[in-house]
């Protein structure tokens, strides 16, 4: 099982880099859309993952890497909330997303106040962010079905990114909750990691499809 974990982790780390490189090459096609900042988020993800792994491997017995990921959550979720709020035209849906953003920021602020950012994971912020993101994606799908975009959706970058995000968070939220209270590195925990790494690969595979199939709108 350890070998499988190493292979999957290497695969998704490599996929991070591949998707980032393709995103840079495809940038002229989406530079005038709300997704124009996604290369920064992809790079931020790569740096966070690599630095987080380095801290875990080299200083795991002294310090944790949770502070790094706690900061990452704020920028990552806020970015995608911004994207969906800008893309969706329905005013009612925009209002729902704004309420979701405010709720997420309140939860994050409460974690900053009541939780040690450097030693404890902001699990409440993560669950809130992931849940609101899923809600944003569902609103986006509804708006697609109500517009002409449904006819050319396979060439729309955000569609494929939203599919990847949706599948990942639907599968990973239960794992995140379990891992928050069950942290014994046994066969069960390793199985959760295998599922988690597989979900990351699925998500970034859809990201890659989106960048490769996209056309300028």
Ranges of residues in the chain whose predicted pLDDT is under 70: 60-62, 148-151, 216-217
- Domain borders along the chain are 8-23+33-213
d(CA 192, CA 89): 38
pTM: 0.93
Q: Please report which helix (H) or strand (E) contains residue 11, including its range.
A: helix 2-25
Helix extents (H) in the chain: 2-25, 27-30, 38-59, 66-87, 91-114, 123-145, 157-181, 187-213
d(CA 9, CA 200): 9
Number of Cβ within a 10 Å radius of residue 33: 17
d(CA 49, CA 68): 9
117, 67 Cβ separation under 8 angstroms: yes
- Specify the pLDDT at position 167: 97
- Specify the pLDDT at position 184: 72
- Specify the pLDDT at position 151: 65
CA separation, residue 15 to residues 80, 113, 201, 208 (Å): 20, 36, 7, 9
- Specify the pLDDT at position 206: 97
Q: Mean pLDDT across the chain, nearest whole number? A: 92
121, 67 Cβ separation under 8 angstroms: no
- Specify the pLDDT at position 189: 85
- Specify the pLDDT at position 150: 66
């Amino acid at each position: 099982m350890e070998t499988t974990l190493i292979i999957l982790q290497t695969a998704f780390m490599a996929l991070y880099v591949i998707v980032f490189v393709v995103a840079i090459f495809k940038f002229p096609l989406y530079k005038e859309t709300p997704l124009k900042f996604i290369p920064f988020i992809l790079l931020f993800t790569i740096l966070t993952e690599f630095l987080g792994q380095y801290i875990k491997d080299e200083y795991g017995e002294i310090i944790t890497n949770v502070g790094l990921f706690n900061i990452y959550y704020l920028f990552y979720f806020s970015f995608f909330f911004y994207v969906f709020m800008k893309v969706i035209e329905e005013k009612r849906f925009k209002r729902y997303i704004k309420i979701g953003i405010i709720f997420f920021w309140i939860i994050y602020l409460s974690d900053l106040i009541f939780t040690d950012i450097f030693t404890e994971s902001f699990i409440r912020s993560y669950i809130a962010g992931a849940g609101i993101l899923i809600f944003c994606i569902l609103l986006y799908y509804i708006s697609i079905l109500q517009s002409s975009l449904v006819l050319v959706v396979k060439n729309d970058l955000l569609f494929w990114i939203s599919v990847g995000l949706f599948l990942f968070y639907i599968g990973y939220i239960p794992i995140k909750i379990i891992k928050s209270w069950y942290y014994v590195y046994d066969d069960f925990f390793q199985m959760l990691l295998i599922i988690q790494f597989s979900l990351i690969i699925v998500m970034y595979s859809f990201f890659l499809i989106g960048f490769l199939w996209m056309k300028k709108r």
